[in-house]
Structure 1
Amino acid sequence: MVWIGIYIAIASLVCILPMLADLIHGFRNKKPWFPCKYFTLNAASLTVIAVAMKLPVDLNNSMPGQVDQGAKLGSMAFMCTMMANLLPSLATMDTKELLTNIIALSILVITLVVNVCIQIKTGVLNNNKHYYRDYNIVSYNSWLIAIFYVAMLLALLMIHISSALTILKSKKILDSKYKAGHETALKDLELQQPMVEKLRQHVSNHWIMAGTGSPQFMIVCSATTSASGVICFLSALILTIIMFPIRPDLPNYGSDYKGSVVVILVTQFIGVLLGTVAPLSRCFAFLSFKVSIKWIWSHIGVFKVESYCTQKLFDWKQSSIPFEFSSRICKCFFQDLKILTLNLCIRIQKTVVIACKMIALIPIFFVIGALCCFHCWKWLKVMFGASNSVLVERPVQIQHNRSDLSQYVLQLQDDMEIAERALESISKSGNIVIQKAEKHKPNNLMNLLEKSSGFEGVGQYDVHQVPPLLEEKYVDCWSLPLVTLTAIIMSLPNIQKDNTDKLLRSVGEGLRYVTHVEETLNSSEEYAIIQKVARTMWLEVEVSHKWLGNKVQNLAYEVNTPKEIVQWFSDTAENIVTENLKVSDDISFHKKISASSMYRITQTMLVDIDQVSHEELFGRLSSMISCILAACLTNLPQVITMKCHTSVIEERDTSVHTAAQLLGETMQIINSLQVRNLPSLNPDDLPFIDKWRDCVLHPSP
């Protein structure tokens, strides 16, 4: 049993660590409402939580000691804390996930509550005053505190169910408002110049929409989250109070868990203290919006419940029963039963929402009281001359773009307005991401791009005069010729190792952005297959310095001149294709595509390579790689624009964060490519390397 106790403590620690990670993530990203990124409600977390709740559901082991009783109550407080932390994660789920996880959580909580009630009835949770009487310890009524925790657990469960019902309709409201904001942002994008400033403003607009329209931010700013934060704080306060009379140094713990109970108690108490920070902070996230006394009266004083809180229940009420009945009487009976049940659920939902709004007044009035005290203190300070310094008014910062940004704020209720400080904080967090990304510019890639001033290299790697080795015709992608050319460069002897290593790093940096271009603009299945081949081959070239199993840096022992090296690659590629021509597994397919690309490129190079030195070939191939990368990266503005927008509401925050980071890293590249003369390509053809190659080889008059 001692080892089981240690197992419970480890499970508790596993729950604490992701809660701590969410705290750190919130502080680092300037999000004081602490979104759930690591500690979320899912099958894995519910399994670990069930293990951590072993003590309060244990009916077989008598735990009469004061430490034992405290550990049972501490586990219940820990459960309250975890439920309050998990609440925002409900907003990240679709309907099916939401239903599944809420049912699983309900089963866990109800099982816990029933077991605790049984222990209260049987006296396992009791008044432990008669224990340690000789030590003059102040005791407490375990059963009474357990009843309070049972009530709080049931209240939190009702809040989770209520929030889940609200989320389903709220997402649709935010989604419709986001679409309108996105259309406005696209119109503003056409008016902005130059390109980098245009992209920065576009990212900022979508950052505001993704931040204020985030499902997690939506639920955090609701009364249900404020109520859960108050309950979480109350449970932590009760546990802190009952911890004072506990004496873990006493030798008799009264249960088979023995000393491991202390480890559980301390671990879960630390978890309660750390886990209370986020729910308590979320209590005040509601104040991110301007809330007037009139608004409080109209929405709470007269017990108003918004339609989106009960809309899902009304939809279910109006829908037909998804079962077929042979008897009309049975069908009418079940239809009436469904209506009665849902009417009851609607009333319960309204009651829960109103109760949460009443509880949410506590942090609101607390802040109002704190502000009043602060202003009184400042007034007294001035009146009694506490400070002889002349009060200097802060310079008013010109908020020239606040009105522009406020039109992108998404909110469920139109009669609420976001506070200026909250809007500035959200906007500033986006600028911080861009500024941090600017410090991680791809310097090696930028140096490589300087080796070319145009895009002529796009037409030089494959002039389309080489008969294909494969009968099947495969599309070409940006990354495959880049990896193939790099493999040839890695085989060249008499080139300083620093130069080849620097080129390898440059191509590696470039392929990161090439991947963004390909995944965003060339995402069809036929392109995805070739891109996967290129990624596999690049891993082999970068890590092992091999090409299809051949150590390219050892070629100098077999062949020496540049022409011999290129000829070796061409012959080897032809042999690989021939050997795998009739094989149809994934490995042979990868080899055929890679070898076919190598054959086409090397056959093109063999036309004019007779008198070329190693250094000249290195420079020629480096310039070719530079041109291909430059042509591909001209699509970065379009990629950033598209990454700002996604139709999946749960992914918008992550997508616009990627866009902001991508913009910060590549601003200098975008500016440098703007001065180059683009070929006369249709804008729709810019993402495709074969269109570039044809245009460079056969420019239109």
Structure 2
Amino acid sequence: MGDTYFHLLHNLDSYICTSITQTLKDFLTASLYQAYIQNKYSKPMMLIGIYIAIASLFCILPMVADLLQGFKTKKLWFPCKYFTLNAASLTVIAVAMKLPMDFSNSMPHVVDQAARLGSMAFMCTMMANLLPSLATMDSKELLTNIIALAILVITLAVNVSIQIVTGVVSHDDGEYSSILTFYNLLIAIFYVAMLLALLMIHTCSALMILKSKEILDHKYKAGHETALKDLELQQPTVEKLKLHVSNHWIMAETGSPQFMIVCSATTSASGVICVSSTLLHGIIMMYTTQHMMDYGSEYKGSVLVILITQFIGVILGTVAPVSRCFALLSFKVSIKQIWKHIKVFKVESYYTQRLTDWKQSSVPVKVSSRRCKIVIQELKVLSLSCCKGFQKMVVVACNMTALIPVFTVIGVLCCLQCWKRLKVTLSAFNNVLVERPAQLQHNKDLSQYVLQLQDDMELAERTLTSISKSGNHLIQKAEKQQPNSLMKLLEEYSGFEGVGKYDVQQGLPLPEQKYVDCWSLPIVTLTAIAISLPNIQKHMVDRLLRSVSEGLTYVKHVEETLNATDEYVSSQKVARTLWLEVEFYHKWLGYKLSNSAQQVNTTKGIVQWFSDTAKNMLTEVESKNMKGSDDNSVYMSASANSMYRLTQTILVSYHANIDQVSQEELLVQLSSMISHILAACLTNLPQVIAMKCHTSVIEKREASVQTAALLLGETMQIINSLQDRELPSLNLDELPFIDKWRDCLLHPSP
């Protein structure tokens, strides 16, 4: 372009004296220069278009991930796990919305206009998908995210409105017919209205979420107390644990904040809006496919990429909102009941409670003048009263819109029912009659744990059965993942005697102890000694490592749930770090276990080497760190202290006969102690499972119960086998602590 520009200027100079006046030459020169500058600065626009398409793709991928997660977990109301409303997603969405925001570039052609309108359809789809994610936020997050979303949507709506008024959105370059131009204008107006409606729905939903959570939380506490009455924590059976998990699973699923908002009329209304915008965009695309190469904006071919990418996003993103349209039918809500609410303009209190609280609160502004205070208070009351009235109008409108999917489903079900009646046989009908009472009784037992916002709403039997089956399926799936190596170790060495033998606290005095005993540290230390024995076959070492690795997974659950104080957490952190060193590198505090053991080779020499090395390390750490301790010194000190005490116990237990002990016999002794410590720790699994079923944070209940269900399924056989062993005389609150076990076994009560 630069060479062409200068060539044209040269030609103008050659004709200056013949046919072109100086004024005309100046005008043409300015026009050519303007075209040259315009072309120069429009070069990056194609790359910017690709950037917009990539941003759109980053919006589509999490929506698809939520779809796949919903199908995987059989939650066809598709909770928002990946595509959520936050600063990052809003930033990416803002980039994806650049086309309708762009004033500076002319976009007169078919594909250009379709891409601009398609971006607004894509925005409608994304807003409908984002709605359930509001339920996972606290009040501060709700406020900031709703304000940010409102700024984005209002800016988009204002920009498009200006383009409508100025004729940019319906620009006719001669190729358009007047009818098509008019259609573009109507479509743009429709999308602006839909975006503003979705923004109002988001704001309306945000106002009801916090009060709704309080209602569900109050009902959850009552259900939790009922569930605890049926569970005996001292020695609960697996069947009681399964029932306890199932009860909390029902409460967690029906009391999920996202499930609550999905089953509301606002979500159904947003789904209807999303479907409407998608259908309209589909019609636009049907026409555009006949003119796929008709683009002429500065975005060039990238505008076609944007159009196709965002159209795919609209199609895929509509699946979840459509499915959520019918989530209200999860409850037994009759058409008569919904119509009654609409007819009398009845709006549940949790929709307006937040506005009422603000209305009754005092003005936070400090004003000295009493008259000013009165004026401010009156203005606040008036504005909030208007907002409350507007909120009720939005809710009523959503209730009316929610009738569309309800009537659709009723019509479809009636048709299906008529078809089934033609095909059903007498035998099948009898089978249904036989099975139904048992199913009804099962649902009746679980229905007391269903949480709902409105007392006059009842969860449909089919939905309750589906939720119950999903919890049972999770437990059954976990049953197929039993820790076989761990179970073999526990069966091979039964009993708990090793807990009293692993540390008799004899031998030389130690430096001041800076940690407390936890379950995992002695297990890791004993394993380090076991795998250092050079004359043991490799498959035996590998089997022990697998058993300990599986066992530590469940030990971690016990420690994190029942030993969560700072002093225990410090020891647990040391054990986890040491286990990484032992399992993956076969090292102990930097020493290669195989090399160190081969230097002495005898059983006594190996144990003595560990003892001496640990003692020297303790002395060194103590001498270098008299005034304080950092993380590394705590790690070295705790690990060495545990090793010293364990090796001293082994040396004392064999007295002078340790020279006659083979490495195979020592491995059996070490494996026995490891097995007994693991068994003692895992007797706390029923208590851990029961505690993991309950959490006070409503947003975390579903994940917590899911963890409990998986843990129960994986450890059923372990729990059953340990219940056959005779426990020491310990109280329930003493069972989680290894030092209580050790003291009880060393000094049993008469």
> TM-score category by the smaller chain?
over 0.9
| Partner of residue 220, structure 2 | 178
Deviation at 1:205, TM superposition (A): 0.4
Residue 151 (structure 1) aligned with residue 196 (structure 2): no
| Partner of residue 280, structure 1 | 322
Of 429, 448, 460 in structure 1, the residue corresponding to residue 501 of structure 2 is 460
Deviation at 1:377, TM superposition (A): 4.0
Deviation at 1:140, TM superposition (A): 6.8
| Partner of residue 591, structure 1 | 636
Deviation at 1:575, TM superposition (A): 2.2
Residue 680 (structure 1) aligned with residue 729 (structure 2): yes
| Partner of residue 364, structure 2 | 322
| Partner of residue 395, structure 1 | 432
| Partner of residue 428, structure 1 | 469
Deviation at 1:392, TM superposition (A): 4.3
Instruction: Name the aligned partner's letter for residue 108 of structure 2.
Output: P
Indicate how the Cα distance of structure 1 residues 58 and 467 shifts in structure 2: closer, same or farther if over 3 A, else same.
farther
Instruction: Name the aligned partner's letter for residue 649 of structure 1.
Output: I
| Partner of residue 384, structure 2 | 342
Q: In structure 2, the residue corresponding to 1:504 is in which secondary structure? A: helix
Q: In structure 2, the residue corresponding to 1:666 is in which secondary structure? A: helix
Indicate how the Cα distance of structure 1 residues 129 and 369 shifts in structure 2: closer, same or farther if over 3 A, else same.
farther
Deviation at 1:678, TM superposition (A): 0.3
| Partner of residue 599, structure 2 | 558
Instruction: Name the aligned partner's letter for residue 107 of structure 1.
Output: I
Give the Cα–Cα distance (whole angstroms) in 2 for the partners of residues 352 and 392 of structure 1.
Answer: 45
Q: How many residues align?
A: 694
Deviation at 1:300, TM superposition (A): 2.1
1:128–1:142 contact (8 Å) kept in structure 2: no
Question: CA offsets, 1:90-145, max 9 Å, x none?
Answer: 11111111111111111111121122122222322115583377xx9977732321
Instruction: Name the aligned partner's letter for residue 18 of structure 1.
Output: P
Q: Normalized against structure 1, the TM-score is what? A: 0.96
Q: In structure 1, the residue corresponding to 2:535 is in which secondary structure? A: coil
Deviation at 1:321, TM superposition (A): 1.2
Greater CA deviation, 206-215 or 318-327?
318-327
Residue 224 (structure 1) aligned with residue 269 (structure 2): no
| Partner of residue 59, structure 1 | 103
Indicate how the Cα distance of structure 1 residues 467 and 313 shifts in structure 2: closer, same or farther if over 3 A, else same.
farther
RMSD: 2.0
Instruction: Name the aligned partner's letter for residue 663 of structure 2.
Output: H
2:231–2:244 contact (8 Å) kept in structure 1: yes
Of 617, 624, 630 in structure 1, the residue corresponding to residue 679 of structure 2 is 630
Give the Cα–Cα distance (whole angstroms) in 1 for the partners of residues 392 and 292 of structure 2.
Answer: 49
Instruction: Name the aligned partner's letter for residue 414 of structure 1.
Output: D
1:290–1:418 contact (8 Å) kept in structure 2: yes
Greater CA deviation, 395-404 or 422-431?
395-404
Q: In structure 2, the residue corresponding to 1:450 is in which secondary structure? A: helix
| Partner of residue 27, structure 2 | none
Give the Cα–Cα distance (whole angstroms) in 1 for the partners of residues 530 and 227 of structure 2.
Answer: 45
Give the Cα–Cα distance (whole angstroms) in 1 for the partners of residues 487 and 427 of structure 2.
Answer: 52
Give the Cα–Cα distance (whole angstroms) in 2 for the partners of residues 439 and 55 of structure 1.
Answer: 52
Give the unaligned 5+ runs of structure 1: none
Deviation at 1:294, TM superposition (A): 3.2
Deviation at 1:574, TM superposition (A): 1.9
Residue 691 (structure 1) aligned with residue 740 (structure 2): yes
Indicate how the Cα distance of structure 1 residues 494 and 137 shifts in structure 2: closer, same or farther if over 3 A, else same.
farther
Superposed counterparts of 1:177-216, under 5 Å: 177-190=219-232, 195-216=237-258
Deviation at 1:391, TM superposition (A): 6.6
| Partner of residue 540, structure 2 | 499
Give the Cα–Cα distance (whole angstroms) in 2 for the partners of residues 125 and 245 of structure 1.
Answer: 17
1:22–1:39 contact (8 Å) kept in structure 2: yes
Greater CA deviation, 247-256 or 213-222?
247-256
Give the Cα–Cα distance (whole angstroms) in 2 for the partners of residues 597 and 568 of structure 1.
Answer: 14
Instruction: Name the aligned partner's letter for residue 689 of structure 1.
Output: I
| Partner of residue 606, structure 1 | 651
Question: CA offsets, 1:471-519, max 9 Å, x none?
Answer: 1442111011111111111211111111111211111111111010001
Q: Normalized against structure 2, the TM-score is what? A: 0.90
Instruction: Name the aligned partner's letter for residue 484 of structure 1.
Output: T
Residue 119 (structure 1) aligned with residue 163 (structure 2): yes
Give the Cα–Cα distance (whole angstroms) in 2 for the partners of residues 632 and 140 of structure 1.
Answer: 75
Residue 515 (structure 1) aligned with residue 552 (structure 2): no
Highest Rg: 1 or 2?
2
Greater CA deviation, 514-523 or 556-565?
556-565
| Partner of residue 18, structure 2 | none
Instruction: Name the aligned partner's letter for residue 406 of structure 2.
Output: I
Instruction: Name the aligned partner's letter for residue 231 of structure 1.
Output: I
1:64–1:254 contact (8 Å) kept in structure 2: yes
| Partner of residue 407, structure 2 | 365
Of 666, 675, 693 in structure 2, the residue corresponding to residue 644 of structure 1 is 693
1:166–1:310 contact (8 Å) kept in structure 2: yes
Q: In structure 2, the residue corresponding to 1:417 is in which secondary structure? A: coil
Residue 659 (structure 1) aligned with residue 708 (structure 2): yes
1:129–1:140 contact (8 Å) kept in structure 2: no
Deviation at 1:538, TM superposition (A): 1.0
Of 409, 413, 416 in structure 1, the residue corresponding to residue 454 of structure 2 is 413
Of 1, 18, 38 in structure 1, the residue corresponding to residue 82 of structure 2 is 38
Give the Cα–Cα distance (whole angstroms) in 2 for the partners of residues 331 and 17 of structure 1.
Answer: 51
1:210–1:656 contact (8 Å) kept in structure 2: yes
Q: In structure 2, the residue corresponding to 1:560 is in which secondary structure? A: coil
Question: CA offsets, 1:26-66, max 9 Å, x none?
Answer: 11112111111111111111121112112111222222221
Indicate how the Cα distance of structure 1 residues 251 and 236 shifts in structure 2: closer, same or farther if over 3 A, else same.
closer
Give the Cα–Cα distance (whole angstroms) in 1 for the partners of residues 588 and 164 of structure 2.
Answer: 70
Q: In structure 1, the residue corresponding to 2:517 is in which secondary structure? A: coil
Percent identity over the alignment is 72
Deviation at 1:694, TM superposition (A): 0.6
Deviation at 1:686, TM superposition (A): 0.1
Instruction: Name the aligned partner's letter for residue 78 of structure 2.
Output: F
| Partner of residue 485, structure 2 | 444
Q: In structure 1, the residue corresponding to 2:224 is in which secondary structure? A: helix
Give the Cα–Cα distance (whole angstroms) in 1 for the partners of residues 247 and 271 of structure 2.
Answer: 31
Of 50, 57, 60 in structure 2, the residue corresponding to residue 13 of structure 1 is 57
Q: In structure 2, the residue corresponding to 1:75 is in which secondary structure? A: helix
1:67–1:248 contact (8 Å) kept in structure 2: no
Give the Cα–Cα distance (whole angstroms) in 2 for the partners of residues 513 and 64 of structure 1.
Answer: 65
